[in-house]
């Protein structure tokens, strides 16, 4: 089946990383670990990846990076406890536990 | 049947030809073409990356009445539980740390400008009513809110007038308080208590946008200086949004709508309209600026991480497009080309039948044949304008390289002094009295050249070499003292070694500057050293490309593609009004395209 998305790793350096015209032409989605999802088989997306020196990742490789980041955040969340605190109080204090992220192709 | 007059109140006017200066949206009937025509635009709105915050954080205060190029971002959370006192200010390019708040806090809010702001409420813990006033240099504690709370909203012009509303104590609240520069006074409550909404506007005319009751609400309320009244909802309920603008003209972005989103909606005083999303979806972010020029900063892209990303919203900007022009009379690759979009010149080149000597002039609509070069040649360089040009170097029929130079006076070509080194496929820049021949290729033994030669109106002189030897590159420049060279290929042995390098010439030496976004050879260029366009050619992944990139003096930006992908074409004109003609698709083409940098074009209504 043809892919809908492709993935790359690129660090957002700030101004000029995504310009206005790229923003119009490409639907971006960012994930933990500097993973970016952009449309597959899309020339504008390919040009953007080249511009930002992105490292193209397979779905599996991108998933591994994201999962490692999420797992790390989950472990940190699990370890952050105050004695006597209820689950609701913990969520109110530090927010909800990070949820798993599943990338799609 | 609906008539145009019934809709627009006037009839469509007939013209023999397209009018000279139609306004955007004007419709007319072109009797010659037999077509209904319209002046159209590519105007659109979008987010782009701004400079990153020095410290990623969310749930901060921000100078909502600041501007896209002068904003303040303060306090917040550097992780889900750590409150920050950091203050950063934005200059349109980058963030700089300035003096901290006196009290670190998260889930806070603020308003004002970069030089006169207020930060109030938040969570230390516990919930606080502490208010601090920013004078452009430092924060000073002033009178507390009457109701200490977190996750509140605010609106205000500066540190002398502000409105605080909504938020959470132990429960969500509807309280509204008004700041007069020295103390807070309770005024009329919101109709719906909520937390983590966003506020925008000023003390006497504000907007309360969505929030968490819980659950997340789409409800919007408008403040008239005395009381709140309900207005139309945003399209999607949620909380943790950022916003900018006024009571009657606002933009709201990002938020948590069950999932963290980048949705952006525009408010015109009556209804909300969805528009292009943030590139980095996030919640609990900051906002500043106006509906047409806003800033989104920080926030949470996931429930437990903070981002330093800043994005700039610009509404109603045009972006460039290529439109077809009149075709050359003789299709050709590797011609010389110069002039402007409405006064172009094509000279020489290569047709399937062999090298050409033909010269053609473009008037903005069609090409006309004029006097030929004295000697047919292809792969040459050309500089100047339509009435005063220079054609140099290249390749004669049979394949021998040449350094011959001819000068065009608007009527005929005259042979002048040769290049010192015969070569082909060089870059060129300048005029017919002050030009550069850059790099190229010659037998010795079949080598990409780094040599640069400078033309002073009489003769060529060798000057400093390019840092990277190459051929099939492009050049753009004002004269022999200011130019850029970009793209190309070398060495000959590696046909996949396209170059992305850009070099800048200051009259004495070449300096490497920022690369093309994608390495390209056999491309064309237009413009000058400060504002240029690169288009067409061959890239590592495309044997024939339609890519277009624009140069702003510092960086290359990807633009809309040529309609006809091609290589070995030639360019003329400027960065905003360029001309592309000839080339190979890979078959030889006569196609001409005109670049409309502002995106305002005349087109046939279909």
DSSP B508-528: S-EEEEPPPSS--BS-EEEE-
pLDDT score, position B79 = 87
CA distance B246 to A93: 32
pLDDT grade for B4, boundaries at 50, 70 and 90: low
pLDDT score, position A43 = 83
Q: Walk me through the domains of chain B, giving residue ranges and CATH numbers.
A: 4-40 (no CATH), 46-317 (2.120.10.80), 322-597 (2.120.10.80)
CB contact A3 to B (< 8 Å): no
Tokens of B433: 């009295």
CA distance B574 to B565: 20
* Mean of all residue pLDDT scores within chain B: 94
Tokens of B19: 């009018």
Consecutive H or E run containing B38 = strand B35-41
Q: In this structure, how many other beta carbons lie within 10 angstroms of the beta carbon of residue B444? A: 11
Range of weakest confidence among A85-89, B4-8, B206-210, B316-320: B4-8
pLDDT score, position A25 = 85
pLDDT grade for B398, boundaries at 50, 70 and 90: confident
Nearest CA in chain B to A53: B517
Rounded mean pLDDT, B40-46:
86
Cβ separation of A50 and B518 shorter than 8 Å? yes
Rounded mean pLDDT, B388-394:
97
Range of weakest confidence among B24-28, B86-90, B354-358: B24-28
Cβ separation of B302 and A14 shorter than 8 Å? no
CA distance B419 to B107: 70
CB contact A84 to B (< 8 Å): no
pLDDT score, position B304 = 85
List the 47-66 stretch of A: residues with Cβ below 8 A of B.
Answer: 47-48, 50-51
- pTM, full prediction: 0.81
E strands, B304-458, are 310-317, 321-324, 336-339, 344-347, 350-351, 354-355, 359-362, 367-370, 381-385, 388-395, 401-408, 413-416, 427-430, 435-442, 447-455
Query: Under a CB-based contact definition with an 8 Å cutoff, are residues B390 and B405 in contact?
Result: yes
Closest in A23, A43, A46 to B279, CB measured = A23
Nearest CA in chain A to B309: A14
In sequence order, which residues have a C-beta less than 8 Å from that of residue A1 and are 6 or more positions away? A105
Nearest to A52 by CA among B558, B291, B405: B558
CB contact A80 to B (< 8 Å): yes
Closest in A13, A29, A44 to B281, CB measured = A29
Share of chain B above pLDDT 70, in %: 97
CA distance B530 to B42: 24
Could you tell me if the ipTM is greater than 0.90? no
Instruction: Tell me: pLDDT of B493 over 80.
Output: no
In sequence order, which residues have a C-beta less than 8 Å from that of residue B463 and are 6 or more positions away? B452, B453, B454, B508
Q: Which tens digit of pLDDT belongs to each residue from A18-41?
A: 888 888 888 899 898 999 999 998
Range of weakest confidence among A96-100, B326-330, B385-389: A96-100
Share of chain B above pLDDT 90, in %: 82
CB contact A14 to B (< 8 Å): yes
For the beta sheet containing B161-165, the strands, ordered from the edge strand earlier in sequence to the opposite edge, are: B153-158, B161-165, B176-179, B184-187
Q: Is A57 helix (H, G, I), strand (E, B) or coil?
A: strand
- Give the pairing type, strands B27-30 and B13-15: parallel
pLDDT score, position A3 = 83
pLDDT grade for B481, boundaries at 50, 70 and 90: very high
pLDDT score, position B234 = 97
Cβ separation of A47 and B518 shorter than 8 Å? yes
Q: Which tens digit of pLDDT belongs to each residue from B180-237?
A: 999 999 999 999 999 999 999 999 999 999 999 999 999 999 999 999 999 999 999 9
CB contact B96 to A (< 8 Å): no
Closest in B46, B305, B311 to A73, CB measured = B305
B339: β partners: B344
CA distance B68 to B64: 10
Consecutive H or E run containing B231 = strand B228-231
Residues of chain B contacting residue A94, judged by C-beta atoms under 8 Å apart:
80-81, 304
Q: Which tens digit of pLDDT belongs to each residue from B129-187?
A: 999 999 999 999 999 999 999 999 999 999 999 999 999 999 999 999 999 999 999 99
Domain ranges of chain A: 5-93
More confident residue, B44 or B508: B508
Q: Which tens digit of pLDDT belongs to each residue from B512-553?
A: 999 999 999 999 999 999 999 999 999 988 889 999 999 999
Q: Which tens digit of pLDDT belongs to each residue from B64-80?
A: 788 999 999 999 999 88
B527: β partners: B532
pLDDT score, position B2 = 62
Q: Which tens digit of pLDDT belongs to each residue from B316-350?
A: 888 899 888 899 999 999 999 999 999 999 999 99
Cβ separation of A23 and B46 shorter than 8 Å? yes
pLDDT score, position B63 = 79
Per residue, what are the HEC states of B334-364?
Answer: CCEEEECCCCEEEECCEECCEECCCEEEECC
Q: What sign for the dihedral angle of Cα B247, B248, B254, B260? A: positive
Cβ separation of B50 and A14 shorter than 8 Å? yes
Size of interface A-B (CB pairs under 8 A): 103
């Amino acid at each position: 089946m043809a892919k809908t998305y492709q993935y790359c790793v690129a660090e957002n350096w700030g101004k000029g990383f995504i310009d206005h015209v790229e923003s119009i032409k490409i639907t971006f989605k960012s994930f933990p670990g500097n993973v970016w999802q952009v449309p597959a088989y899309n020339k504008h997306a390919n040009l953007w990846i080249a511009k930002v020196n992105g490292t193209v990742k397979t779905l599996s490789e991108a998933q591994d990076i994201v999962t490692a980041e999420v797992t790390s955040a989950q472990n940190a969340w699990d370890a952050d406890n105050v004695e006597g605190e209820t689950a609701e109080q913990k969520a109110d204090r530090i927010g909800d536990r990070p949820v798993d992220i599943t990338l799609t192709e | 049947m609906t008539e145009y007059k019934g809709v627009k109140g006037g009839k469509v006017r007939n013209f023999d030809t397209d009018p000279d200066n139609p306004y955007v949206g004007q419709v007319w009937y072109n009797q010659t073409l037999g077509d209904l025509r319209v002046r159209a635009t590519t105007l659109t709105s979008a987010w782009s990356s701004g400079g990153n915050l020095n410290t990623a954080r969310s749930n901060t205060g921000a100078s909502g009445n600041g501007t896209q190029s002068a904003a303040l971002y303060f306090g917040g959370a550097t992780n889900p539980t750590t409150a920050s006192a950091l203050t950063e200010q934005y200059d349109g390019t980058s963030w700089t740390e300035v003096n901290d708040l006196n009290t670190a806090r998260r889930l806070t809010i603020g308003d004002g400008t970069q030089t006169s702001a207020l930060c109030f409420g938040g969570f230390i813990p516990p919930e606080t009513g502490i208010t601090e006033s920013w004078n452009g240099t430092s924060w000073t504690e002033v009178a507390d809110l009457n109701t200490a709370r977190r996750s509140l909203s605010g609106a205000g012009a500066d540190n002398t007038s502000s409105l605080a509303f909504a938020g959470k104590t132990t429960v969500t609240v509807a309280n509204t308080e008004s700041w007069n520069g020295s103390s807070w006074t309770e005024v009329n409550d919101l109709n719906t208590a909520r937390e983590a909404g966003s506020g925008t506007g000023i003390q006497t005319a504000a907007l309360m946008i969505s929030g968490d009751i819980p659950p997340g609400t789409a409800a919007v309320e408008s403040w008239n200086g005395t009381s709140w009244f309900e207005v139309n909802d945003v399209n999607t309920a949620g909380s943790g949004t950022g916003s900018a603008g006024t009571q009657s003209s606002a933009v709201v972005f990002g938020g948590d709508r069950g999932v963290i989103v980048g949705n952006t909606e525009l408010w015109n005083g009556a209804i909300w309209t969805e528009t292009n999303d943030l590139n980095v979806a996030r919640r609990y972010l900051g906002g500043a600026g106006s509906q047409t020029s806003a800033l989104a900063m920080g926030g949470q892209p996931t429930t437990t991480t903070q981002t330093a990303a800043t994005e700039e919203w610009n509404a109603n900007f045009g972006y460039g497009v290529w439109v077809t022009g009149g075709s050359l009379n003789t299709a050709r690759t590797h011609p010389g080309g110069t002039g402007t979009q409405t006064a172009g010149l094509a000279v020489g080149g290569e047709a399937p039948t062999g090298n050409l000597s033909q010269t053609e002039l473009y008037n903005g609509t069609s090409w006309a044949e004029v006097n030929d070069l004295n000697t047919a040649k292809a792969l040459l360089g050309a500089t100047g304008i339509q009435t005063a040009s220079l054609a140099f170097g290249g390749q004669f029929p049979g394949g021998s390289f040449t350094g011959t130079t001819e000068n065009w006076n608007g009527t005929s070509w005259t042979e002048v002094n040769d290049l010192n080194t015969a070569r082909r496929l060089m870059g060129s820049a300048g005029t017919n009295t002050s030009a550069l021949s850059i790099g190229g290729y010659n037998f010795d033994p079949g080598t990409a050249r780094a040599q640069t030669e400078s033309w002073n109106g009489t003769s060529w002189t060798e000057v400093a070499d390019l840092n990277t030897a190459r051929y099939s590159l492009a050049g753009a420049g004002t004269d022999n003292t200011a130019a850029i060279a970009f793209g190309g290929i070398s060495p000959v042995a590696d046909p996949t070694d396209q170059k992305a390098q850009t070099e800048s010439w200051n009259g004495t030496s070449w300096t490497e500057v920022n690369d093309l976004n994608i390495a390209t050879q056999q491309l064309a260029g237009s413009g000058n050293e400060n504002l240029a366009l690169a288009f067409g050619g061959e890239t590592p992944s495309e044997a024939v490309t339609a890519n277009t990139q624009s140069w702003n003096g510092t960086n290359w930006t990807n633009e809309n593609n040529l309609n006809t992908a091609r290589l070995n074409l030639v360019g003329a004109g400027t960065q905003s009004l360029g001309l592309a003609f000839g080339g190979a698709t890979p078959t030889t083409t006569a196609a001409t395209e005109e670049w409309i940098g502002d995106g305002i074009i005349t087109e046939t209504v279909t």
